[in-house]
Structure 1
């Protein structure tokens, strides 16, 4: 027979009302009492009834998370952080894969509205006006992660312009002057445009000419995009000694293309990526890259959302997370010739 709230109260030697307040995150008890109740819950294996809890605190204890591509390596790391924060706050997570489709995103938002989720984390995609109108209808807190918006919504992200600028500058400081970029989309204001602009500005700051011939654009940031882009870039820049790729998957795709073309990395072509996915240290040669703290970004966004839902914060400030360049073996220092 499953233990009841009455059993927990008896085990902890407190009232049923006290157990109820602790389980539902309401005030009115000491830390010692809370500890005793938590120990009783663990000892008895008590599982609070989610429906009953929702009737008390008017919450479903669920958070909706929307990704444009759940299967992507970046999404999985961000999601791990979000789930950690949600679990610590007593929430479950509903994950939605929008595939960057506006109609699908709207459909999922309506579904989350029907499910009466307590808050939303919106990741890696531009917030369209139709999405924002649904957010307002739902009247729940929304936190963005790895993206930003023209609307007044808190976000957790890395400065993509600055990250791309530093990656390009890193190559220049290693003695490279003929540098190309495998970029994202000119229609992507979140990561595409800022990273391409950072690349261009870094070249110009260091007195290197920039032309459109030094860059390819892509609709996605996947392995195949990088693999297909490198030969195109080499046709335009036959003397190129280094490539900055706008994602690690693109960078590893470029490495695969280089191998097929008989070009040695980094001896003949240096490559730097962006993200620091787990696969970056598994490939050969291991990839030098701009490290985004993806798991920490997800966790931070989740913690902000939980605080907003519980009323511990009325408003949340956006956060730029720090990035670093992780040096591995895919970039050659030309100054050591």
Structure 2
């Protein structure tokens, strides 16, 4: 592979002069610069991006910390962020925690991010005080997606309100015994607690009793939704409606109903949150959230901060809450008489 020394030897110039000419720095005549560029092209010399970045102190890389990259929500946010970063010449460095607390510790506590990236995106994790201190010490822009972190840049939906919208829909249809499929998620994933709180809030506002036995862990996966749905729908006093805190779990509940030969929505209504790419295929009623847009906005936030003249923007971060909306499809209807 041709290096800068090969170009310098061919021209009988110092490597410093060749380097300055190729980087467009002052102190090199126009004729010399042209000779260097022509010779570099002839020899097939390609400048090293990493070397140029090292010289400038910039990496042109943004880290994205993801609880579980195989989950649809995280993968979709990642896609939205990558689209924007790529357009502006930034690479994406992925830290997939894969549900591991040890991996989370290594990323935040062991200095993995130091001097490797220009900015950080953290997806759906509620950070500890120690983690916030580590992120602040990096001295670079940080944006949280799907988490409410006061005084830090965030992009999210109101998860509690989204859950109320879903539960209220079932109540307005006449359902009075409503099951909930949720769970703790992984690594302090922020949505589960807020969505559970929204479900309970709607029941309380409607004067309906809270039955803890109707709240089942679905692990935020289709498989978990099938298991949770089976537990709820096998009961002799099964709920007439089931709200799942994600579409993936709701799709699992639909599968459980099919296996138990229950009709949807005649025997049981089912809805979720997200508007997963398969939600319309399953005719699933859902509370839609703009997932790709969350990734895009988060990427724009850190890029805006990187382009700022100083650090003022970092200390006045934007708190963006995007709207959600109910999409009523064929999986919900009045309760059986």
TM bucket normalised to smaller: 0.7 to 0.9
In the alignment, structure 1 segments of 5+ residues that lack a partner are 3-15, 22-45
The correspondence for 1:297, drawn from 288, 294, 297, is: 294
Contact 2:142 2:152 in 1 (8 A): yes
Once residues 217 and 278 of structure 1 are traced to their aligned partners in structure 2, the CA distance between those partners, rounded to angstroms, is 23
Contact (CA 8 Å) 1:184, 1:191: kept in 2 or not?
A: no
CA separation in 2, counterparts of 1:113 and 1:49?
22
Question: Structure 1 residue 332 and structure 2 residue 329: aligned?
Answer: no
SS of residue paired to 1:307: helix
TM-score (normalised: structure 2): 0.79
* Structure 1 Cα separation of the partners of residues 318 and 272 of structure 2: 29
1:50, distance to aligned residue in structure 2 (A): 2.4
Alignment partners' CA distance in 2, 1:182 and 1:80: 27
Aligned to 2:166: 167
Once the two structures are TM-superposed, the CA of residue 318 in structure 1 deviates from its matched residue by 1.1
Q: Look up the match of 2:90.
A: 91
SS in 1 for 2:279: helix
Structure 2: distance between partners of 1:143 and 1:108: 16
Q: Aligned residues, how many?
A: 295
- Is residue 118 of structure 1 aligned with residue 115 of structure 2? no
Deviations 1:115-162 (A, max 9, x none): 52001100022212332232133222211001233x632211100100
Give the whole-Å Cα distance in 1 for the aligned partners of 2:230 and 2:113.
46
CA shift, 1:236, in A, is 5.2
Deviation at 1:20, TM superposition (A): 5.9
SS at match of 1:305: helix
> Which residue in 2 is equivalent to 1:10?
none
CA distance in 2 between counterparts of 1:130 and 1:63 reads: 21
Matched, 1:203 2:174: no
Deviations 1:239-285 (A, max 9, x none): 421100011111011111111111111221110011111021223xx
Aligned partner of 2:139 in structure 1 is 139
Separation of aligned partners in 2, 1:244 and 1:89? 40
Quick one: structure 1 residues 102 and 137, their matched pair in 2 at CA, closer, same or farther if it must change by over 3 Å?
A: farther
Matched, 1:261 2:257: no
Q: Secondary structure at the match of 1:136?
A: helix
Q: What CA distance in whole angstroms lies between the structure 1 residues aligned with 2:53 and 2:167?
A: 51
- Give the SS at the match of 1:216: strand
Gaps of 5+ in 2: 3-19, 26-44
In 2, Cα distance between the equivalents of 1:234 and 1:200?
20
Partner deviation per Cα, 1:185-234 (whole Å, 9 max, x = no partner): 2995721221111111112212222221221135x211121111122223
Residue 128 (structure 2) aligns with: 128
Q: Distance in 2 between matches of 1:105 and 1:174?
A: 43
8 Å contact 2:269–2:335 — kept in the other structure? no
| Residue aligned with 1:320, SS | strand
What are the residue-to-residue correspondences of 1:59-98 with 2, within 5 Å? 59-98=58-97
Q: Is the 8 A contact 1:64 1:112 kept in 2?
A: no
Residue 52 of structure 1: CA displacement? 4.9
Relative to structure 1, the CA distance from residue 107 to residue 20 in structure 2 (aligned partners, 3 Å threshold; closer, same or farther) is farther
